[in-house]
Amino acid sequence: MTQSLAQAMAAFAPELPLAVGYSGGADSTALLLACVQKWPGQVSAVHVHHGLQDAADDFEAHCQRVCAALDVSLTVQKMDASHAPGQSPEDAARRARYKAFEALALMDKAQVAIKSIAIAHHADDQIETLLLALSRGAGLPGLSAMPQRWTRAGLRYYRPLLRVSGADIRRWLAEQDAAFVTDPSNVDERYTRNRIRAQVLPALAQCFPHFRDTFARCSAHAAQAQAILLEVAQQDLALVGVPPRIKLLQALSQPRLANVLRHWLHSCHQATPSAAQLDELMRQIAACQTRGHALHLKIAQGFCERRGANLHWYNL
């Protein structure tokens, strides 16, 4: 169920000391203030200077001022977040951000070992992520949307506001009379996410007043089902071996074959096949009935081929 910011903060119990990913925007300003109020002296801030916009220097200066006024230690990480061809600028910025957080892993400016990072994604961000996944035709991992907590490179990440609506965060922030910056790229409707926020969420609210709760429940169901699929894929991969034996792959049902192939390609090769590539691979595995039957096809950024009894993936 959706929570108020106060309820979300009452339930938030991270390992301390905690750093807050602080962009200077409204959401992370609210999270920083709420954490500082709850754990005075045990919270620091991390600001990633993306170098993407001319305004980035101003954002950093704003964060410096606010943290100085709050007596919060601020670490600024400068990252080059320019995006590669085919990569979205938002995705490049997000990847650069996680690298910067990991680089901190983790000493802040005051040389305190940081154990936890909180970021200010909220319920509307979660719905936007789910709708983006639906629009891409994503499978269960995409429909699971964003987890509330996870661990990476020894660092615990939290999204304590994931069940709080954006409007509730703004209301709370207005009561605090706190200054924040507005990133112009957040309202630029050339980005799909911003169009969803401006056009789709208001329409959803009209049609399905409880959509934040019900959509979040769908994501929770998807996440649970995905966890089971992962367990099955791990068991099946142990059974067929690495590299997988074609005969053993042929003994699996079609859904389990698809599941284990996706898992093998992703976990062993960081390769994600398109739906059409996976269908073709499954068709060719089924057709591989004679000793001399060759199998060779493009999968993600590399190729799958038959070598003797096994299926191999390689990248040129």
Ligand X SMILES: Nc1ncnc2c1ncn2[C@@H]1O[C@H](COP(=O)(O)OP(=O)(O)OP(=O)(O)O)[C@@H](O)[C@H]1O
For the bound state, the minimum distance from the C-beta of residue 127 to ligand X, rounded and expressed in Å, comes to: 13
Task: Work out whether 14 is an interface residue with ligand X (CB under 6 A).
Answer: no
Residue with tokens 């389990």: 256
51 labeled binding residue: no
| The one segment of 115-123, 142-150, 235-243, 275-283 that binds ligand X by CB under 6 A | 115-123
Contact with ligand X (CB under 6 A): which of 16, 25, 39, 102? Answer: 25
Nearest to 79 by CA among 90, 65, 92: 92
Residue partners of 132: CB distance under 8 A and separation at least 6: 192, 193, 196
Q: Which of residues 140-199 bind ligand X (CB under 6 A)?
A: 183, 186
Question: Where are the strands (E) in 81-234, listed by range?
Answer: 116-118, 149-152, 155-158
Q: Residue 283 and residue 309: Cα distance in Å, rounded?
A: 17
Pick one of 19, 92, 116, 121: the residue that binds ligand X (CB under 6 A).
Answer: 121
Q: Contact letters (x/-) for ligand X, 268-307, by CB under 6 A?
A: ----------------------------------------
Residue 237 makes contact with ligand X by CB under 6 A: no
Is 229 a binding residue for ligand X by CB under 6 A? The answer is no
73 is in an annotated binding site: no
Phi and psi for 256 in degrees, rounded to 5?
Answer: -70, -35
Asked if 75 and 108 count as a contact pair (C-beta separation under 8 A), the reply is yes
Q: Does 22 bind ligand X (CB under 6 A)?
A: yes
Burial 112-131 (b: 16+ CB within 10 A, else e): bebbbbbbbbbbbbbbbbbb
Amino acid identity of residue 115, one-letter, is K
Question: What is the total count of residues that contact ligand X (CB under 6 A)?
Answer: 18
Among 5, 33, 34, 46, binds ligand X (CB under 6 A): 46
By CB under 6 A, which span of 18-26, 208-216, 232-240, 285-293 interacts with ligand X? 18-26
| Sheet with 302-307, edge to edge strand ranges | 296-299, 302-307, 310-314
The strand order across the sheet containing 43-49 reads 74-78, 43-49, 18-21, 116-118, 155-158, 149-152
**119 binds ligand X, rule: CB under 6 A:** yes
Backbone angles phi, psi at 156, to 5 degrees: -90, 130
Closest distance between ligand X and the C-beta of residue 29, in Å?
7
**12, 17, 28, 168: residue in contact with ligand X (rule CB under 6 A):** 28
Numbered residues of the known binding site: 23-28
Residues that bind ligand X (CB under 6 A): 21-23, 25-28, 46-48, 50, 97, 119-121, 125, 183, 186
Numbered residues of the known binding site for ATP: 23-28
